[in-house]
Structure 1
């Protein structure tokens, strides 16, 4: 019985030593995970060049004007009828959220993490829809609710933000006609080149495989 116990202990010790040696000699444990984490964190940064571009400046203006329009419509305490107020409130809030989301995506280069999504088309749909619905909501509000100063100010900001969205739509359509896909296509191409260079560097170091 003692001999069997000693043999079992010896077998466990050899198995433990073998697993330790295998773990120490494995190339996957010390290299694969840190490289992946480093690449993910390094891709998120503020793109100041986009914020200084025409599209970045227009999005900042659209977000600001949509927020002001939403605040103006929220300050209306009494309305009769209220259908125009509610519709304007929905349009201004939706435009602020969607445009703000796209601004965050582009300014942090997060769109390069999802290259399969057509962000240029998404931006075009947002600008066209925001132009149409803001124009419609402003007309309805002006026709039904134009008695107080707050309602008039909301109408003014509604037409103003409609003009900004319309100009943004014109620029996006012009970029599409040129066939370069706008600033999003250029940033996606740069990301593709960076991934190709990273892959070539990984293949040149066989110890990472």
Structure 2
């Protein structure tokens, strides 16, 4: 009888212990959904960027590059076709790259990757797009200028070239004002902080 009572008491204590450990377990079913909501809540559309000069220029570049690409795609017959293919490649590439940058800047995703110099990235993209759009428009105007679709593609090609040129000018101006050096300043401050912390650790006596 004593053994059975002890066994029942042991089972009761074990069940209570398991209930307590289960209640205090850190692996709760609501942990992941809460973290997911916090991560998704940090992404929002930056309307201030869209209203700025760079935001308006980015939207215009994406729209004009898309119209130029659609215009060149409506050409059914070309002779020669080298200028058409080159213009098609330039307009499609500019539309995709500039659209991705616009998406990143609108949702503030660039703030989550501070180690990338986004000002320099935007400057390089606008400068390269200006050069290649101008070159593609000149080549297309010289080789293919008979149909209405070709003329429309040339017109929109020069329009988007002007918009990219204005964006490049503003990006260079911003770079010269020191905005492009922000990443380098942050890196130097980080290095100084790491050096100071290492000096403090070396100055402390060994506690062991």
Count of matched residue positions in the alignment of Structure 1 and Structure 2: 180
| Residue number in structure 2 paired with 1:37 | 36
Give the secondary structure class of the aligned counterpart of 2:43: coil
Q: Which residue of 1 aligns with 2:98?
A: 99
Q: Distance in 2 between matches of 1:48 and 1:16?
A: 57
1:153 maps to 152
122-131 or 33-42, which moves further after superposition? 33-42
Alignment correspondent of 2:142: 143
Equivalent residues of 2:119, 2:179 under 8 A apart: no
CA distance in 2, matches of 1:20, 1:58: 62
Q: 1:76 to 1:18 in 2, by over 3 A?
A: same
Q: Distance in 1 between matches of 2:14 and 2:145?
A: 84
Larger Rg computed on CA atoms: 2
Kept in 1: contact 2:117–2:180 (CA 8 A): no
Matched with 2:119 is 120
In structure 1, the gaps of 5 or more residues are 186-209
* Deviations 1:45-85, CA, capped at 9 Å, x for gaps: 11111100000000010011001100110010000110110
Using structure 1 for the length normalisation, give the TM-score: 0.75
Q: Which moved more, 1:96-105 or 1:18-27?
A: 18-27
Shift in CA distance, 31/120, structure 1 to aligned 2, threshold 3 Å: farther
Taking the aligned partners of 2:135 and 2:129, their CA distance within structure 1 comes to 10
SS of 2:145's partner is coil
CA shift digits 1:158-178 (9 cap, x unpaired): 111011001101101100100
Gaps of 5+ in 2: 184-208
Following superposition, the deviation at residue 180 of structure 1 comes to 2.2
Counterparts of 2:111 and 2:23 in 1: how far apart (Å)?
36
State the superposition RMSD in angstroms: 2.9
